[in-house]
Structure 1
Amino acid sequence: MSLEATVKYHFPKTASFAGMPPATASDSLSGTDYMAAMGMTQSRAPLGYAAFMGKVGVSENDAARAVTLLTEYALSTCDKVAALRKLRSDIKPAVMQTLATYAYMDYCRSAASVKPCDCCQAKGFIEADVFTMKSPLSGGYARNVKETVRVLCKQCGGKGVVSTACRDCNGRGRAVMKAETEKQGVPVMGDCKRCGGRGFERIPSTEAHNAACEITDVISIDTWKKSCKPFYDQLIGKLEIEESWANSALNKVTS
């Protein structure tokens, strides 16, 4: 049993809480068995289990717990980075929580995610200058009058958000390789170079840096790129590793 298979038990369509109809197999797990298996997985791999459940939208509490556990991990390992080790003890927890929050948001991203529209600042409308011909009330010649009006944002269509799906592969992660296609004369598919095969855009690490700079100004952009960004990427990787471990633990319990 995988983590993906547990999602349906949190959004049941019927009152039955079982993996399959009881009549199909005499040795099938019961609803109590599944609940016990998920509880054991949660105790063995708390970070991975909470991260996954928060990512798929099962529980906001799990998402908050995942950020808390990742913050604790960041605090226990950040002293390996000189720039983070030098942070004052009163601001270090806040910086680690910020990095953990952005790492978790990046971990939760997919081709189906959305992000605020940069063009209209998530408002759905932008201000534009238009010229109209108007005649004065007292008579005379009409003239062009410049006015500032609100118009629908073309980038998001007035929604205020845009998709994070890669524009080159449309979220599929695979795209036509032009060089190989021209060489072989037939369409050749490969991992999208723009998104690296993920199918979506990651959150720019500079956003995490900007958020950290609101807490402290001792981390320059050069320091961030040289030493802090690898640590930030490590936090994202930690979530992926913990999810894999939780998935393996659940498979072992239910096998």
Structure 2
Amino acid sequence: MSLESTVKYHFPKGQSFSDTAPNTSPDKLTGTDYIAGMGMAMARAPLGYSAFMGKVGVSKNDARRAVSLLTEYALQTCDKVAALRKLNSKIKPAVMQVLASYAYLDYCRSAASLRPCECCGATGFIAAKVVTMKSMLSGHGRREVREQIRVRCKACTGKGVISSACRDCSGRGRVVMRKETERQGVPVMGDCKRCCGRGYERIPAIEAYRAICTITENISLATWDRSGKPFYDRLIGKLEVEESWANTTLAKFIV
């Protein structure tokens, strides 16, 4: 049994809590067995289990727990980075929490994710100045009138949100390789170079740095690029590793 298979148990459509068809075999797993297996996986791999459940929208509490556990991990390992080790002990937890929050947001992102449109402030409309010709009240002549009106935002087409799907591959992660296609005479597919095959655009690491700058000014952009960003990327990788470990742990208890 995988983590993805457990999602349906959190959104049941009926009263039956089982992964198999009803039968009389004494070896079949019951609903209690599945609950126990998920409980053991949660206990053995708390970070990975909570991160996944928060990512798929099962529980907001799991999402907050995942960020909290990742923050603890960041505090335990940040002293290996000189720039982070030198931070004041009073602001270090806040910096680690910011990094953990952004790392979790990046981990949760997919081609189906939506983000607020920065152009219109997620309203779907922007202010624009237009010039119109209007007749004078006396009925003689016309004059130009400059007005400010609200028009639909072109960036989000009035939706207020923008898809995180890669613009080159439309979220598929694969595109037609033109050179190879022309050389072989048949369509040749390959990983999208823009998103590296993920199908979506990651959260720019510079956004995490800007959030850190609101807490402390002791980390320069050069220091961030040299040591801060690699540490931030490791936090994202930690979430992916822990999810894999939670999936393996669950499979051991529920076969």
| Number of the residue aligned with 1:162 | 162
- Ranges in structure 2 where 5+ consecutive residues have no aligned partner: none
Which stretch of structure 1 is more off in the superposition, 195-204 or 14-23?
Answer: 14-23
The corresponding residue for 1:137 is: 137
Counterpart in the other structure of 2:153: 153
Deviations 1:103-153 (A, max 9, x none): 000000000000111221212110111111112213332122111111111
AA in 1 matched with 2:165: A
Aligned-residue sequence identity (percent) comes to 70
Alignment of structure 1 residues 75-224 onto 2, 5 Å: 75-224=75-224
- Partners of 1:24 and 1:235 in 2: CA distance: 47
Partners in 1 of 2:105 and 2:37 — Cα distance?
27
Matched to 1:242, the amino acid is: E
Question: What letter is aligned with 1:108?
Answer: C
In structure 2, relative to structure 1, the CA distance for the partners of 1:24 and 1:161 (3 Å cut) is farther
Gaps of 5+ in 1: none
Q: Could you say what secondary structure the match of 1:22 adopts?
A: coil
Cα-Cα RMSD? 1.1
One-letter amino acid matched to 2:2: S
Cα offset for 1:83?
Answer: 0.6
Q: What is the CA-CA distance between 1:154 and the residue it aligns to? A: 2.0
Measured in 2, the distance between the counterparts of 1:184 and 1:118 equals 43
**Post-superposition offset of 1:92:** 0.2
Question: What's the CA shift for 1:185?
Answer: 1.8
Q: Secondary structure at the match of 1:115?
A: strand
1:185-205 deviation line (CA, Å, top 9, x unaligned)? 221100011100000000000
- Cα distance between partner residues in 2 of 1:26 and 1:199: 45
Judging changes above 3 Å, is the alpha-carbon distance between structure 1 residues 25 and 124 closer, same or farther for their aligned structure 2 residues? Answer: farther
Where does 1:237-252 land on structure 2 (aligned, <5 Å)?
A: 237-252=237-252
* Aligned counterpart, 1:10: 10
Which residue number corresponds to residue 44 of structure 1? 44
Residues 49-96 of structure 1 deviation map (CA, whole Å, 9 limit, x = unaligned)? 000000000000000000000000000000011110010000000000
Q: Which amino acid aligns with 2:233?
A: D
- Please identify runs of 4+ aligned residues in structure 1 that moved more than 3 A: none
| TM-score, normalised with respect to structure 1 | 0.97
CA separation of 1:161 and 1:24: change in aligned 2, threshold 3 A: farther
Distance in 2, matches of 1:199 and 1:165, equals 6
Relative to structure 1, the CA distance from residue 24 to residue 181 in structure 2 (aligned partners, 3 Å threshold; closer, same or farther) is farther
CA distance in 1, matches of 2:217, 2:182: 50
Counterpart AA for 2:67: V
Q: Secondary structure at the match of 2:23?
A: helix
